[in-house]
Each structure stands twice: as structure tokens, then as C-alpha cells.
Amino acid sequence: MNTRLTWICHGATAANRKARFPLDEPLEEKAVEEAGRMAVLPRADRIATSPALRARQTADALRLEARIDRALSDCDYGRWAGRSIAAIEVEEPENLMGWMIDPEAAPHGGESLLDLRTRIAGWMDGQTVLGGHIIAISHAAVIRASILHVLQAPLSSFWLSDVEPLSLIRMTSNGQRWSLRFQH
């Protein structure tokens, strides 16, 4: 069964601009306006969004009626949520480096990169049973994990891709494997 998946990264927030691990903050006003000006999206059989406020607001700005799917939640950053990367680098440099190097590490008490990829891969593979076109509004870390799943890339590659706010990433599955899909 063929499945098309269009990922949409939520719009920009203050945490994005200030290099902080996110809390459940709203979109910046400019991001709401930018989302409202995005091109019309293709029809979808299912539309899902992370439960985070920034993802739900992105869906609303895109005029999409999305159901909340907890599997699309951002990475759980544990006690680092709301804190700047710079502060953690000063206070816990070994923990920050360990988390970035070891995909199984979760020194913040949250989710490891391995756990994140496992969660997202399970969600994606579950979508292939249903087929059709899915639009998923989620987070940069979630989309990066999905790209690693599609490419069957090592988790050390997680930090090698950048997912900008409001970017679209398309994928397809023939029921056997996922592929990235590039369109103009």
C-alpha cells in the first residue's frame, strides 16, 4: 500500500530564536503570519499534530483540522526544557556532549535520541498500514529522526541536518520501505 507523508515543522518560537530547549511556548506572531501565507497544501487523508501549543497553532494558521497525536511530541528534554544550550554547556558540559555523542544517553532525564527515533519510526511504519496521504505537524528533532529512519542512517547523523521552522519534508512508502521525495 502506498503512503505519502508530508512533515511540516512548526513555526518559529522564542526558544528557536534564543537557542533554548523548548517548553510549551506559543508561536511568534511573525510565524503565524508566515504560515498563513504558505502555499496551499495537497489534500490529505489524515492530518495529525503534536500536542505542543506551537504545533497546534501552526496547524491552525495553515487552516488544517488536525487531530492531536502524542507520538508526534517533541523530544522530551527533561530538566533541560526551557534552558539555553549555552547555559547547559557551561553548567553540564560533559552531559551535553555525552547526549550529543551517545544516542542512548539521556543525562537530562528525558528521552535519548535512540528512544526518539524508535518512537517516530514506529509511528511512521504504523501509517503504512493505513496508506494514503498524511500531513504531520511536528518538531525539528522529530523530523530529523524520521529522516534518519528513512535513510537508515546512524544516529550520529542526527546533528547533520537542519530543519527550519515551517519547512516541508515529503516522504513516500510502498509498504516495504520509505523514501525521501524532493519536489519543486
Q: Is 10 helix (H, G, I), strand (E, B) or coil?
A: coil
Cell triple for residue 76? 522530551
β-strands 178-181, 168-173 pairing? antiparallel
Q: What is the pTM of this model?
A: 0.95
Alpha-carbon Rg for the chain, nearest whole angstrom, is 16
- The residue-averaged pLDDT of 16-44 equals 89
At 16, the pLDDT band (50, 70, 90 cuts) reads confident
Q: Is 36 helix (H, G, I), strand (E, B) or coil?
A: helix
Contacts of 45 (CB under 8 A, 6+ apart): 130, 131, 132, 133, 134
pLDDT above 80 (res 11): yes
* Overall size of the chain counted in residues: 184
Alpha-carbon dihedral of residues 59, 67, 176, 141, nearest 10 degrees? 50
The domains located in the chain, with CATH, are 3-76+112-181 (3.40.50.1240)
What type of residue is 104?
E
Nearest Cα to Cα of residue 24 among 81, 97, 99: 81
Contacts of 46 (CB under 8 A, 6+ apart): 67, 127, 130, 132, 133, 134, 135
pLDDT above 70 (res 184): no
Distance CA 85, CA 68 (A): 28
**pLDDT recorded at residue 41:** 83
Contacts of 146 (CB under 8 A, 6+ apart): 5, 7, 120, 121, 124, 169, 171
47-81 pLDDT per residue, tens: 999 999 999 999 999 999 999 999 999 999 999 99
**pLDDT recorded at residue 183:** 74
100-152 pLDDT per residue, tens: 999 999 999 999 999 999 999 999 999 999 999 999 999 999 999 999 999 99
